[in-house]
Every structure is written in C-alpha cells, then in structure tokens.
C-alpha cells in the first residue's frame, strides 16, 4: 500500500537552532500537506504544497514531485515550536484521501 517515510522520528533542539524534517513517498503524488499537532490537539495545516517551495514566517516547505519527497525547514527554533509535525500526501489516481507519515516529535529546549 501507499506509504510515507518520515524522518527523523524525534528531534531535540536548543532554542535558536534550525531543523530539517523529511518525508519520502512510496508512490507518485498529486499533492501533500504538512501539519502541526500539539499533544491532545488538532491538526493545524502548515503548508499545502503540491510542488515547489513555500514560505511562512520561519517555516519553509519544499516538495519535489519527481523525487517523491518533501521537506520542512524550521529556522531559529523557539520553545513554542515543540510538538509533532506530520506530513501527508494524496496519491495520483487516488480518492483524495491523505496518507500520513508517523510524525516527527520536536522538542525545543531553552
């Protein structure tokens, strides 16, 4: 079946450091999203990024469709960035469903 490999599984940063999160997709994709989730919270859409590079504040998402991968870059991390980051994609020819990765648990310490 369709799979998403997300890495790293967990990451600890000192406040101010940068982070790069990766997702690799097993099949061709039509679109993908990055989400943020606090413990016990809902999924907040950070980026809807079918292809190319998008920026939002200290966050940058880059999706390379041909290589079936996407990355999320967090610059100058803050303690409030702590939480789980999830990537998900919609496969070509699929039913618009999102297939999710297992997530990266990020902890930013002061």
Q: Is the dihedral of CA 22, 9, 90, 34 positive or negative?
A: negative
Residue 18 or 55: the one with the smaller Cβ distance to another protein is: 55
Among 31, 51, 60, 82, binds another protein (CB under 8 A): 31
Q: How many CB atoms lie within 10 A of CB 77?
A: 21
Among 76, 97, 107, 109, binds another protein (CB under 8 A): 97
Q: Tell me how far apart the alpha carbons of residues 69 and 110 are, in angstroms, rounded to a whole number.
A: 31
Among 101, 104, 106, 108, binds another protein (CB under 8 A): 101
Question: Which residues form the interface with another protein (CB under 8 A)?
Answer: 30-31, 33, 35, 41-45, 48, 50, 86, 88, 90, 95-98, 100-103
């Amino acid at each position: 079946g369709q799979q998403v490999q997300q890495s790293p599984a967990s990451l600890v940063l000192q406040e101010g450091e940068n982070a790069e999160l990766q997702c690799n997709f097993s099949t061709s994709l039509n679109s993908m999203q990055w989400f943020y989730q606090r413990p016990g919270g809902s999924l907040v859409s950070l980026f809807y990024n079918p292809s190319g590079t998008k920026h939002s504040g200290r966050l940058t998402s880059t999706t390379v469709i041909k290589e079936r991968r996407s990355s999320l870059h967090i610059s100058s991390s803050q303690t409030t960035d702590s939480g789980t980051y999830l990537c998900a994609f919609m496969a070509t020819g699929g039913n618009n469903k999102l297939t999710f990765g297992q997530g990266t648990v990020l902890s930013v310490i002061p």
